[in-house]
Amino acid sequence: MSIVRTNIPRADRAAVDRLANSGVATVHEAQGRTGLLAPSMRPIYAGARIAGTAVTVSVPPCDNWMIHVAVEQCRDGDVLVVAPTSYSDAGYFGELLGTTLQARGVRGLVIDAGVRDVRDLTAMAFPVWSKVISAQGTVKATLGSVNVPVICAGALVHPGDVIVADDDGVCVVPHTHAAEVAEAAAVREAKEAKARERLKAGELGLDIYAMREKLASLGLEYQDGQAEA
C-alpha cells in the first residue's frame, strides 16, 4: 500500500510560470472559484509568490520519513505538497530539508502540518506555506506514499498539478487545465487593469459595473442620515 510513483507527468512549464504571475486570488477566480486550500495555510514570510508542479507526499501523523523519500522525486520547478493522514501540528520540515530541495530547484513547500527553522528558511528564501510553526520533532518509523492524490488543507491535489501560492494562500490547478486557466487569468487581469484606472480616477464600481438599477429593483432604499440625527 506504500508506493512511490516516479517520473510523473507534469503541467506545462510555461503555463505554470504564467500562473505564478497571476497569483492566487486571480487564479482561483479564473477557474470558477475552485481549488483553494483552507485559509489556515499561511506563508512563513511575506512577499513570496510562486507556482510549481506538485510532488505529493502522504505522511503518517508525526512521522516525516517519506519526505526524505519524496526529495528524490523532485525536479527543478516542483513544489512539494505534504499531507498527513490525520491531524498533526508537528514540525515535519526544517532547514536541512529546505537545503536539499533548494539544491534540486524546488520552488517551495506546502504542508498541512508544522514547519520549523523558519528563521533559516526565510534567510534562504525558501518559501513555505504551513498550518503552524512548530519545533516539535517527528519520527521516522512508518511508510506513506509519494505522488499519489492527497487531500491537503481540504483540497484534492494530484501529482503534477500546478500549485500557486502567495500571501493570499494556496490554490491548486489540475494539470490538464493549466494553460486554459492561465489564459482565463490573463483575460481577467486585463479587465481588472481597466477597472483599476477608472477607480483611481474616481469613478464608482456602482457605475462601472452598472449595479444601480438591479439594486433598486431589489428594493434598496436611501435615507438621509441627517434628517433623523
User: Where in 161-180 is the site for a second copy (CB under 8 A)?
Assistant: 166-169, 171
| Nearest C-alpha neighbor of 160 from the set 50, 66, 59, 74 | 74
Q: Find the binding residues for a second copy in span 108-167 (CB under 8 A).
A: 114, 116-119, 122, 132-137, 139-143, 147, 149, 151, 154-156, 159, 166-167
What is the total count of residues that contact a second copy (CB under 8 A)?
100
Q: Which stretch binds a second copy (CB under 8 A): 12-20, 88-96, 177-185?
A: 88-96
Query: Is residue 202 a contact residue for a second copy (CB under 8 A)?
Result: yes
Task: Name every residue whose Cβ is closer than 8 Å to that of residue 169 and which is 6 or more positions away in sequence.
Answer: 24, 36, 37, 39, 41, 42, 129
Query: Is residue 71 a contact residue for a second copy (CB under 8 A)?
Result: yes
SS3 category, 23: coil
Cβ nearer to a second copy, comparing 23 with 108? 23
Query: Is residue 1 a contact residue for a second copy (CB under 8 A)?
Result: yes
Q: Which stretch binds a second copy (CB under 8 A): 12-20, 95-103, 179-187?
A: 95-103
Query: Is residue 192 a contact residue for a second copy (CB under 8 A)?
Result: yes
Q: Which residue has the cell 513555505?
A: 128
Phi, psi of 8, rounded to the nearest 5 degrees: -70, 150
| Nearest C-alpha neighbor of 51 from the set 98, 131, 133, 106 | 106
